[in-house]
Chains A and B, each alone.
Chain A
Amino acid sequence: MLGLGNPLLTDDGVGILVVQGAAAARCQRDDVTFAEASVGGLRLLDCLAGYERVIIVDAIQTRAGRPGDVHRLHPNDLPATTHSGSTHTLSLPDVLALGRGLGLALPEDRAIAIVAIEVEDALTFGEACTPAVAAAIPRAVEAVLAELEAGEQ
């Protein structure tokens, strides 16, 4: 279970907070790695290689979303492109495609789940989430734990 984002940018690190919450609730598990990373693009490969299954928890902003909404997504839901202008710009499907092309052991698409929390402010430095996002964290923890259980059946 991989939480992504920047914990210093207000709502941006909510994925990390959710993974920490899930880890606390399931701390006796030793077959699950609870990890966090403030990286994107190609460096995600380094986090995913060698795992059979992954649940990625991240912040998102969508056009119609309201802060605090919890979305369940699949890598195929994300726009793909293998064309990149800088190290900052690779999407998850690209990263997976490239990694597989390179022969890395990566989880299959069906073994990748994404739980995304709609956020309000991800550009201002701050360590606390905005109220609607903070209120969504327990729900999001439930969602990722349910996801974990679902994949085990």
Chain B
Amino acid sequence: MPQRITIDPITRLEGHGKIEIFLNEAGDVERAFFQVPELRGFEKFCEGRPAEEMPRITPRICGVCPTAHHIASTKALDDLWKVEPPRAAKLLRELVYSAFMVEDHYIHFFFLGGPDFVVGPQAPAAERNILGVIAKVGLEVAGQVIRVRKECREVIQTLGGKVIHPVFGLPGGVSRGMSEEERERFLETAKFAVEFAQFALQLFDDVVLKNQAYVDLVLSDIYSHRTYYMGLVDEHNQVNFYDGNVRVVGPDGNEIARFAPREHVEPWSYVSFPYLKNVGWKGFVDGPESGVYRVAPLARLNVADRLATPLAQQAYERMYEVLGGKPAHATLAFHWARLVEALYAAERMRELLEDPEITSDAIRNVPTEIPHEGVGIVEAPRGTLIHHYQTDERGILTGVSLIVATNHNAAPIAMSVEKAARGLIKGGKVSDGLLNMVEMAFRAYDPCHACATHALPGQMPLEVLIRDAEGKVLAVLKQ
């Protein structure tokens, strides 16, 4: 009989995410569910406020991706007032956004995803962390990770106008331009970020791809789902984090939808598991008959035809060569896609900074239209982020809905955990190593569960509860 372990949850401030895995009589996995806590009353809180406050309110929703909310919100205001920002303003917004993608992707890879591969999926938990990574790759690398993140943050802070929570986005532009001196300094940052991104991909090559066991793990069926994918692309079907059209491709890679954000928007109701309406909800299953779709790094690369920058394009081609073509369905390849995207973002920073117009003084067009409704979409590090506002003729909010990345990925996360658990947990036998391998199935997505903005009470855990056929807790997996 498996030992029953019950851990009394620590008290916590903001609720916690929960994954529950139910075993059947034989101790094999029957079902798995993914649940995130919900903050209450956001819409009501926003209603009655001037819409232009939203770029300063929404970054407070999440302690992890404030920049993504700020930019999505700013774009929703452009759309609300039907005002087109000058080109320099768009360049500046995209620069800040690219710097944010670089630093955020490295947090995930080096601190969260990397340990599973660099230290080992079944290594003791005490070693499976960034310090274990450093022990393997050397302290010098740690210094580089810190440097690239620090310099990218300086770009965000200088241009964004405030530490952590940017405030520079205005309907029709930005509040601050860039000096020539800043341009030169940030160009050095961009060049370093490109070098570092190449190094990080090389590291992935050396550590993961040269180890056949890891390649097998990445490609194994237990970490694979043939789903639809969604992400933003530009007019040439290249990945774009800041702007573009939404493209959806099927499990075979064929485009099934491509639309401008405004075209398909209706007032959303909050559903736990969004799905493609035209395909339909068939439950937590994959395949072409199921409307389940995925977002975030691998999904973005899957929906695009190519990347817009040369080095990233090479890395992109190599990735699909190894993964056996596009679209790739291997959930663990989200980590690889993240590194390819970080290279793209770094190259994009360099391109933007080399554009002479980026130091232009023409950074804002003042809105003159009467507002009614606006939608803003960006690709947040963890997937497509949608802000949708409705106002009266004075610009006072009457309706607000947001769809965040983890909403889109909620069904696939549950499916991925269930499939990994089914493949790994047999006859009720669970070990720490196996549980970590189940956890790897959701870590690849980096799910948001409510919003961690605290040092206390210590952690904001995502718990995995494994229950037997009677519903008794057999094991708790907790960070």
Residue ranges of A at the interface with B (Cβ–Cβ < 8 Å): 4-9, 12, 35, 37-44, 46, 56, 58-63, 73, 78-95, 97-98, 101-104, 114, 116, 119, 122-126
Q: Are B453 and A39 in contact (CB under 8 A)?
A: yes
Q: Are A88 and B458 in contact (CB under 8 A)?
A: no
Identify the stretch in B123-131, B270-278, B286-294, B296-304 within 8 Å (CB) of chain A at 4 or more residues. B123-131
Q: Are B449 and A126 in contact (CB under 8 A)?
A: no
A residues within 8 A CB of B64? 39-41, 43, 87-88
Q: Are B456 and A87 in contact (CB under 8 A)?
A: no
Expressed in whole angstroms, the Cα–Cα distance for A92 and B451 within the complex equals 16
Expressed in whole angstroms, the Cα–Cα distance for A145 and B37 within the complex equals 35
Please judge, given known A-B contacts A61-B13, A85-B112, A85-B479, whether A114 and B456 are in contact too, CB under 8 Å: yes
Identify the stretch in B139-147, B197-205, B383-391, B422-430 within 8 Å (CB) of chain A at 4 or more residues. B139-147
**B348 near A: Cβ within 8 Å?**
no
Q: Are B453 and A83 in contact (CB under 8 A)?
A: no
Q: Are B41 and A81 in contact (CB under 8 A)?
A: no
B residues within 8 A CB of A4? 453-456
Please judge, given known A-B contacts A8-B45, A41-B64, A125-B42, whether A89 and B455 are in contact too, CB under 8 Å: no
**B460 near A: Cβ within 8 Å?**
yes
Task: Identify 12 new A-B residue pairs, CB closer than 8 A, beyond the known A123-B37, A125-B46.
Answer: A5-B454, A81-B459, A83-B128, A85-B442, A89-B460, A92-B456, A95-B455, A103-B143, A103-B146, A104-B146, A116-B456, A125-B40
Q: Are A103 and B142 in contact (CB under 8 A)?
A: yes
Please judge, given known A-B contacts A82-B131, A85-B443, whether A62 and B60 are in contact too, CB under 8 Å: no
Question: Mostly helix, strand, loop or mixed at chain A's interface?
Answer: loop
Expressed in whole angstroms, the Cα–Cα distance for A81 and B130 within the complex equals 12
A residues within 8 A CB of B452? 39-41, 87-89
Jot down 10 A-B pairs with beta carbons below 8 A, ordered by A.
Answer: A4-B454, A9-B39, A39-B63, A40-B454, A41-B452, A78-B455, A86-B446, A86-B449, A88-B448, A98-B111
Closest residue of chain B to A65 (Cβ to Cβ) is B11
B residues within 8 A CB of A59? 13, 454, 456
Q: Are B461 and A89 in contact (CB under 8 A)?
A: yes
Closest residue of chain A to B43 (Cβ to Cβ) is A125
**B165 near A: Cβ within 8 Å?**
yes
Expressed in whole angstroms, the Cα–Cα distance for A45 and B145 within the complex equals 13
Expressed in whole angstroms, the Cα–Cα distance for A102 and B108 within the complex equals 16
A3 to chain B, nearest CB (A): 11
Question: Mostly helix, strand, loop or mixed at chain B's interface?
Answer: loop
Residue in B61, B164, B443, B458 whose CB lies within 8 Å of A91: B458
A35 to chain B, nearest CB (A): 8
B residues within 8 A CB of A38? 59-60, 63, 66, 164-165, 453
**B15 near A: Cβ within 8 Å?**
yes
A residues within 8 A CB of B163? 35, 37
Q: Are B456 and A123 in contact (CB under 8 A)?
A: no
Q: Are B453 and A12 in contact (CB under 8 A)?
A: yes
| Listed residue (A38, A93, A101, A114) with the most chain B CB atoms within 10 angstroms of its CB | A38
Residue in B46, B129, B142, B442 whose CB lies within 8 Å of A83: B129
Residue ranges of B at the interface with A (Cβ–Cβ < 8 Å): 10-15, 37, 39-42, 44-46, 57, 59-61, 63-64, 66, 104, 107-108, 111-112, 125-126, 128-131, 134, 139, 142-143, 145-146, 150, 153, 163-165, 439, 442-443, 446-462, 479
B407 to chain A, nearest CB (A): 15
B198 to chain A, nearest CB (A): 22
**Which 7 pairs of residues, A with B, have the shortest CB-CB distance?**
A40-B452, A125-B45, A91-B458, A78-B458, A88-B452, A82-B129, A39-B63
Expressed in whole angstroms, the Cα–Cα distance for A122 and B454 within the complex equals 11
Q: Are A98 and B41 in contact (CB under 8 A)?
A: no
B residues within 8 A CB of A94? 459
A residues within 8 A CB of B46? 125
A residues within 8 A CB of B41? 124-126
Please judge, given known A-B contacts A84-B112, A89-B462, whether A102 and B134 are in contact too, CB under 8 Å: yes
A residues within 8 A CB of B125? 82-83
Please judge, given known A-B contacts A42-B107, A86-B443, A88-B448, whether A125 and B459 are in contact too, CB under 8 Å: no
Expressed in whole angstroms, the Cα–Cα distance for A103 and B150 within the complex equals 14
Q: Are A6 and B451 in contact (CB under 8 A)?
A: yes
Q: Are B455 and A102 in contact (CB under 8 A)?
A: no
Q: Are B439 and A102 in contact (CB under 8 A)?
A: no
Q: Are A102 and B443 in contact (CB under 8 A)?
A: no
Q: Are A79 and B10 in contact (CB under 8 A)?
A: yes
Please judge, given known A-B contacts A39-B63, A89-B459, whether A6 and B453 are in contact too, CB under 8 Å: yes
| Listed residue (B44, B129, B442) with the most chain A CB atoms within 10 angstroms of its CB | B129
B residues within 8 A CB of A43? 63-64, 164
